[in-house]
Structure 1
Amino acid sequence: MKLSTRGRYGTRALLELALHQGEGPVLLRDIAERQQISLSYLEHLISPLIAMGIVRSVRGARGGVLLAKAPEEVKLSEIIQLLEGSIAPTECVTNPGVCTRSEFCVTRDIWDELKKVIDGVLEATTLQDLVERHKRKEQPEEVMYHI
């Protein structure tokens, strides 16, 4: 089970907007450059995010895109659901009718538990959490010299 580029790149683009929250609109080409995402692919990803009210587009000379909500209000579960749909490890987890063994299948129980854990992490993580993680990773650790 892997997230597609839609989910990964979409999350990275939204992180970029969250990092620049309060600074005004950000140009898509700047996001594409900083996150190493094709501009045409990024334009394709932004459309559903605008339609769902996560991103707002601003036209004009100082236009671009920005978050329509505060970073702490945008959960990764919302982003991934919008861009990926269900990320169940197997189809039978979300649609038991596809398998005649679903009622007594022990492995399906494991896949269901896995989905619940993934859903829990995505539900508990916001763009603000990613901003804070980003800042921690950017700060070089202090070097201590012992004499």
Structure 2
Amino acid sequence: MKISTKGRYGLTIMIELARKHGEGPTSLKLIAQNNDLSEHYLEQLIAPLRNAGLVKSIRGAYGGYVLSRDPDKITSGDIIRVLEGPISPVEGIEDEEPAKRELWMRIRDAVKDVLDNTTLEDLANYKDTGEHDSYMYYI
């Protein structure tokens, strides 16, 4: 599964709202400016998030968007599913031979586990320690 800009920028919107949680509404214009993104594109992404009940819109001169729940109650999986659809590494898993089907299901379940156990609060409060699990590739 490849996460498109819809999922990536939608997650950006939600992280920004989580960081401002409890401070009142935040405009998409501000989010777009702070992240060097297109406000028009963010407007397209906020509609499904609102329809899914993840955000609420506040009208008026000082309006904008707020999270509909606390950041620790919204997972990255909630957001990705709304914007990208079901989480699956390949289409047609049920048609695969058993060994490959098992592999694809294990990959799917691992991705779901990470997404469903990472909350907006985790992402909004993330601090880069400089320590990363990485692989060294030699050619």
TM-score using structure 2 length = 0.87
Write the distance in 1 (CA, Å) between the matches of 2:106 and 2:52.
29
**Contact 1:27–1:63 (8 Å) recurs in 2:** yes
CA distance in 1 between counterparts of 2:73 and 2:104 reads 29
Gaps (5+ residues) in structure 1?
A: 141-147
Matched residues in 1 for 2:36 and 2:47: separation? Answer: 19
The structural deviation recorded for 1:112 is 1.0
Correspondence for 1:38: 38
Kept in 2, the 8 Å contact 1:13–1:35? The answer is: no
Q: CA RMSD in A?
A: 1.6
2:105 paired with 1:112: yes
TM-score normalized with structure 1 length: 0.83
Q: Match of 1:129?
A: 122
Paired residue for 1:53? 53
> How many residues of Structure 1 are paired with residues of Structure 2 in the alignment?
130
Structure with the greater alpha carbon radius of gyration:
1
Counterpart CA distance in 2 for 1:83 and 1:41 is: 13
Identity across matched positions, percent: 41
Alignment-mate amino acid for residue 69 of structure 2: K
Letter in 2 for 1:56: K
CA distance in 2, matches of 1:37, 1:120: 29
Equivalent residue, structure 1, for 2:9:
9
Q: Identify the structure with the greater helix proportion.
A: 1
Give the residue type in structure 1 aligned to 2:99: V
- Structure 2 gaps, min length 5: 131-139
